[in-house]
Amino acid sequence: MRRRLSIKLLTALFAVALAGKTGLAQQSEPALFEIADDGKWQKTDTTHRLAQFPKIHPDGRIWIQFEAPTTAKSVQVHIDGKDLDLQKDAAGRWNVLLSNIDPGFQIYWMLVDGARAIDPGNQPFFVNGYVSAIDVPSPGEEYYRAKKDVPHGDVREHWFYCTVTDSMRRMYVYAPPGYEKDTGARYPVLYLQHGGGELEDEWVHAARANFILDNLIAEKKARPMMIVMNLGFADKPGEAQQGRGGRGARDGAGAQGGAGGRGPAPAPNVASTFEEMLINEVIPNIDASYRTMADQKHRAMAGLSRGGNQTLTIAPKHLETFSHIGVFSGVPNNYADLLRGATENAPAFNEKVKVLWFGAGAMEPAFLDRQKAAEELLTKSGVKAQYYVSNGTAHEWQTWRRCLHQFAPLLFQN
């Protein structure tokens, strides 16, 4: 009996072991990434000159390839709110094909065993910290592309000493086509502000504001103008620094922000020191350095998100300085207080302000709702204004590219 039990036990143990070995044999390595390259893949607009990836296909697919350390166990790409797995190829490089990515400026970053990294094959952009981005073509939207048959303006890096902040500061200045050739011409100026998550160069770097104006001017849809882009953060010596990152800082005081932000909370006032610097130092410096039309009729101010908040905070208080105002996804909760001077004396405001313009994305409900509320208030008060909604876009550069494209043709026409 004991012998029979021992044989049965050994047989059972052998069966278990065999099943285990069979199971292990069936757990094969993940399939290697393979793709039949049809020769139509091209580098993206922002792929580094020494890199071959990321690439984009005419059918809209995106191919990202990433070389991770040999010890890496997983690599993902975070894009469009999702973490997507990359797959190794025969050479040990990690790859992924992306399809159905929304058109426009799409931010992404890599996750290597959960640790965040930018894609070394791509240009870095500063949007709430350094990120990677791909400009996915948007059918029918060529207005922000550099075109070879269009005269192009220049973007200058302009440094100046600011006594308000006791520091050297940088501005980016767009001069329209012909600025150097026609030395007798003078130009109106748009002061254009970034959001709380960006730096002063991203209106050019990410949004391609210079190409938007080049194309509008070439089509005779916009008047030749200068654009001045300043860093929207300014601190006096000894002042606590304002938040320079995170969604809370981007949205500005009184806006819906803070959730999910990676930086400190915004300063209570998004405009005070910056306002003093802009009015007392920046504008005089620009007027002294360039051939501007240095009067109220030929100055505009606009901005996105936090920059829109700054615009709505500063410009209505300085109607001796600005005659055109644009707010892109930037109406804050205290909009009624900021617009009180307009709503209480609409005829005087309408006389001084030639364009008051609001724009937001259809998919950014908080900003769009506040824009609609501001529209209701201004309409009831008799204040003239214009409103725009960007279909299919959210709090993103494609919204603000469209806003600038719609706003710029309205400037300095009267």
Residue 346 lies in a domain: yes
pLDDT at 164: 95
Mark which of 102, 136, 170 sits at the end of a domain. Answer: 136
Q: What is the pLDDT of residue 5?
A: 37
Same structural domain, 298 and 367: yes
Residue 29 has a pLDDT of 60
Q: Is residue 11 part of a domain?
A: no
Same domain for 322 and 401: yes
Question: Are both 51 and 174 inside the same structural domain?
Answer: no
Assign residue 350 the CATH number of its domain. Answer: 3.40.50.1820
Residues 80 and 168 in one domain: no
Residues 103 and 171 in one domain: no
169 and 70 assigned to the same domain = no
Task: Out of 136, 163, 193, pick the residue that ends a domain.
Answer: 136
- Does any domain span residue 145? no
pLDDT on residue 69: 92
311 belongs to a structural domain:
yes
Same domain assignment for residues 128 and 158: no
CATH number assigned to the domain comprising residue 81? 2.60.40.10
1 lies in some domain? no
CA-to-CA distance for 129 and 236, rounded, in angstroms?
Answer: 23
pLDDT value at residue 414 = 78
Quote the pLDDT of residue 192: 98
Which residue among 108, 136, 164 closes a domain? 136
Which positions of the chain have pLDDT values less than 50? 1-27, 244-268
Task: Provide the number of structural domains found in the chain.
Answer: 2
Residues 197 and 124 in one domain: no
Instruction: Give the bridge partners for 97, in sequence order.
Output: 63
The per-residue pLDDT for 30 is: 66
In this structure, the answer to whether residues 216 and 301 fall within a common structural domain is yes
Per-residue pLDDT, 249: 33
Dump pLDDT digits (tens) for 55-107: 999 988 999 999 999 999 999 999 988 999 999 999 999 999 999 888 999 99
Query: Are residues 368 and 219 both part of a single domain?
Result: yes
What are the backbone angles phi and psi of residue 394, rounded to the nearest 5°? -115, -145
Residues 259 and 111 in one domain: no
Q: Is residue 26 assigned to a domain? A: no
The parent domain of residue 269 ranges over 154-410
- Tell me, yes or no, whether 259 lies in a domain: yes
- Is 321 within a domain? yes
Both 194 and 225 in one domain: the answer is yes
What pLDDT does residue 259 have? 27
- Phi then psi for residue 63, to 5 deg, are -115, 115
How far apart CA 208 and CA 144 sit, in angstroms, is 6
- HEC-encoded secondary structure of the chain: CHHHHHHHHHHHHHHHHHHHHHHHHHCCCCCCCCCCCCCCCEECCCECCCCCCCEECCCCCEEEEECCCCCCCCEEEEECCEEEECEECCCCCEEEEECCCCCEEEEEEEEECCEEECCCCECCEECCCEEEEEEECCCCCCCCCCCCCCCCCEEEEEEEEECCCCEEEEEEEEECCCCCCCCCCCECEEEEECCCCCCCCHHHHCCCHHHHHHHHHHCCCCCCCEEEEECCCCCCCCCCCCCCCHHHHHHCCCCCCCCCCCCCCCCCCCCHHHHHHHHHHHHHHHHHHCCECCCHHHEEEEEECHHHHHHHHHHHHCCCCCCEEEEECCCCCCHHHHCHHHHHCHHHHHHHCCEEEEEEECCCHHHHHHHHHHHHHHHHHCCCCEEEEECCCCCCHHHHHHHHHHHHHHCCCC
- Model pLDDT for residues 1-50, shown as the tens digit of each residue: 444 434 343 344 344 343 444 444 444 566 788 887 888 999 999 999 99
